[in-house]
A and B are shown apart, each in its own frame.
Chain A
Amino acid sequence: MPQITYRKALNDALAEELARDKNVFIIGEEVAQYNGAYKVTEGLWERFGDKRVLDTPITEAAFIGLGVGASMLGLRPVIELMFWSFAYVAYDQIVNNAGCIRYMSGGQINVPIVIRGPANGGTNVGATHSHTPESILANNPGVKVVCPATAYDAKGLMKSAIRDNDPVFVMENTLLYGESWEVPQEEYLIPLGVANVKREGTDVSLIAHGRATITSLAAAEILAAEHGISAEVLDLRSIRPLDEEAVLKSVRKTHRAVLVDENKPFCSVSAQIAAIIQEKAFDDLDAPIRRVCALDAPAIYSPPLEKIQLPTPERVVQKVVGLT
C-alpha cells in the first residue's frame, strides 16, 4: 500500500469529492491561486477552476456565513480556515447560524457545510494561533466535530464530512501535514462516530484524539519496552458524534484509563470522556481516571517550553506508571 502524507490524503479527498459532486466548492483564504497556506488545496484551483475553488479576502465571518447561506440552497461548501483559531471572529456564524438554524426552523433547513483547517498548538506561533476548539464547538448540539490523527483517517473522514448533511468541522494538525501513512488507492469512507483502536493492549487504555493519539502511541512503545506495561491506544477520531461504546469496551478490557488530550484541561474533550467512564464503567475501574492535557495556560511561544506544554510521551508514561 502506498504511503502518502496527511496533507496529500486531504488533498485527494477534496479532489475526489469536487469531481464527484458539482455542488461541492472550496472557499477560504489563499486556497486557490496560492495553493493553500499549508498546501492542502494544492492544484485544485488549476484543475477545477474559479467557480469551484475561490480565494476569499481575510473575512472569516462573511465567508463562513456565505457558506451557510449557500448551503441552505443545497450547495455543499468546504470552507478552509487557515487556522481554526480564526473561527473565533466568526463564532456567531458557526454556532448560531450553522449550528442552530436547523433547530430554529423546526427542521425545515439543513446546513451541509464543512469547515476545515488546522487546530493545534506546538508550532511556536503564540496563544492566538494555537487554539484547539474541538471541545467548545462539540459543546453545541447541531454540529459535528472530527479530529483525524493519520493520513488514512484524514481522507476517509473528510470524504464522509463532505457527504454529511449536517455541519461538520474537521480539525487537522499542521504538525501532521508532512507525516506519511499507508493509504489505499481505492476509494473508502470512514463514518463519523467510529473510534479506532490504534494499538491493542491489556493493562491500560490511553484514550486520545488528533495528534495526542500519536503521542499516546509513542508512550505505549516506551511503556512496553521499559515498564512491561501493555497499553491500548484508542483514537476517538470523531468527537461528536462520539463512539461511546468503543471507550467503554476498552476500559472494561483494561480497567484503567489515562486520557491524553491537547485541549486545556477545563471543560475539555477528556473531561467529557471521564464523565462518561465514571458514569457507565465505574465498577470496571481498578484505578482513578487520569488525564494528560495541555498545561493550563495560554500557549507559550518559547519553542522548547511549548513542547512541554503539550502532552509528551514522557508525561503520559509518568502518569501511567503512577497509577495504583
Chain B
Amino acid sequence: MTRLLLATLALYRRWLSPAIHAISPGGCRYQPTCSEYAQIAIATHGPVRGTVMALFRLLRCHPFARGGLDQVPAAAIPRPHPHEPLT
C-alpha cells in the first residue's frame, strides 16, 4: 500500500503537477510542497496516518494561510517489538 501510494505521488509530481502549473502559473505557499509533504508523511508514518496528515496539509493550503516552512513531524520512536504492519 505504501509503495502504491508513493508511486502515485511520484507519478503526480512527474507528469500531472507540471501540467497543472502549465495551465496556471503559481507555486506553493508551503515548503515542502503538498505532494512532497505527502510522500514524506506516508514514508515516515505509514499509509493511513500519512494520508490523513497529507489531507490536513491540503486543508491548510488556502488563500488566508501565510505559508512558509511546514515540516512533517518526526516519526514516533518505534516500539521495541513492532507487530507486522497491517498492509
Tell me, yes or no, whether A binds B. Answer: no
Instruction: Give the A-binding residues of B (Cβ under 8 A).
Output: none
Give me the interface of A with B, judged by CB distance under 8 Å.
Answer: none
